[in-house]
């Protein structure tokens, strides 16, 4: 997949990372995502999200997390538009000006898992349209490794099985390019 004027752009496999309040049942969240983003691929199991108080005042304390694949390989910068769409979708699902769902797109390639975010920090790279990229996991010694500054929920390895499967799908799809 080449873009005009660019060489060696390697496509990536996108996903959506969700944190959602008890207001939502996982099936309802996935149905809403499919309505907005199209058919979804590989979906993780639903996990409790108790690693930060960041969302407490907005979304409450009983939060869940899941990931779902956006099928098909795309250039990494295409996910900036997905983040823009996710912001609008979060606003639509808000109640009294407070989000009930946080949606952060990301991507997998052979070497890394990257999350896109609206929040700046010193380790993130600005991509445009208010969107930052954070290399959250790197692939080394046959598995995903979290850096010292990765989010705590990524550090404990609970997402490793999902991202291993997503990486396998990515590598299989890359054989066909």
Q: Rounded to the nearest 10 degrees, how much is the dihedral formed by the CA atoms of 45, 85, 113, 72?
A: 80
- Residue in the structure block whose two tokens are 């969302």: 55
Q: The tokens of 9 are what?
A: 């752009």
CA-nearest of 24, 99, 26, 37 to 72 is: 37
Per-residue model confidence as pLDDT tens for the chain (177 residues): 445 656 678 999 999 999 998 888 888 888 888 988 889 999 999 999 988 888 888 998 889 999 999 999 999 999 999 999 999 999 998 999 999 999 999 999 999 999 998 887 777 888 889 899 999 999 999 999 998 888 889 999 999 999 999 999 999 999 987
Closest CA to 136 of 117, 121, 149, 119: 149
Give the gyration radius of the chain's Cα atoms: 16
Q: Are strands 112-117 and 125-128 parallel, antiparallel or unpaired?
A: unpaired
Length of the chain: 177
What do you get for the CA distance between the two ends of the chain, in Å? 8
Spatial distance between the Cα atoms of 152 and 92, rounded to a whole number of angstroms: 29
Classify the C-alpha dihedral 152-153-154-155 as positive or negative: positive
What single-letter DSSP state applies at residue 98? B
pTM of the model: 0.90
Three-class SS string for 47-116? EEECCCCCCHHHHCCCEEEEEEEEEEEECHHHHHHHHHHHHHHHHHCCECCECCEEEEEEEECCCEEEEE
Q: What is the pLDDT of residues 84-116, one digit of tens each?
A: 999 999 999 899 999 999 999 999 999 999 999
Q: Which two tokens stand for residue 125?
A: 């790279």
The 8-class DSSP code of residue 11 comes to P
């Amino acid at each position: 997949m080449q873009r005009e004027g660019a060489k060696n752009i390697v496509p990536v496999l996108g996903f959506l990372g969700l944190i959602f309040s008890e207001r939502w049942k996982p099936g309802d969240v996935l149905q809403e995502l499919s309505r907005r983003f199209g058919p979804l691929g590989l979906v993780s199991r639903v996990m409790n999200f108790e690693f930060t108080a960041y969302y407490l005042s907005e979304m409450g304390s009983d939060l869940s997390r899941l990931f779902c694949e956006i099928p098909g390989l795309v250039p990494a910068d295409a996910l900036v538009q997905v983040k823009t769409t996710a912001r609008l979708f979060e606003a639509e699902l808000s109640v009294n000006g407070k989000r009930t769902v946080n949606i952060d797109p990301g991507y997998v390639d052979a070497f890394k898992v990257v999350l896109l975010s609206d929040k700046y920090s010193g380790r993130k790279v600005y991509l445009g349209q208010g969107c930052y990229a954070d290399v959250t996991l790197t692939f080394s010694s046959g598995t995903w490794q979290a850096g010292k500054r990765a989010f705590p929920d990524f550090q404990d390895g609970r997402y490793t099985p999902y991202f291993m499967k997503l990486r396998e799908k990515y590598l299989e799809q890359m054989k066909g390019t």
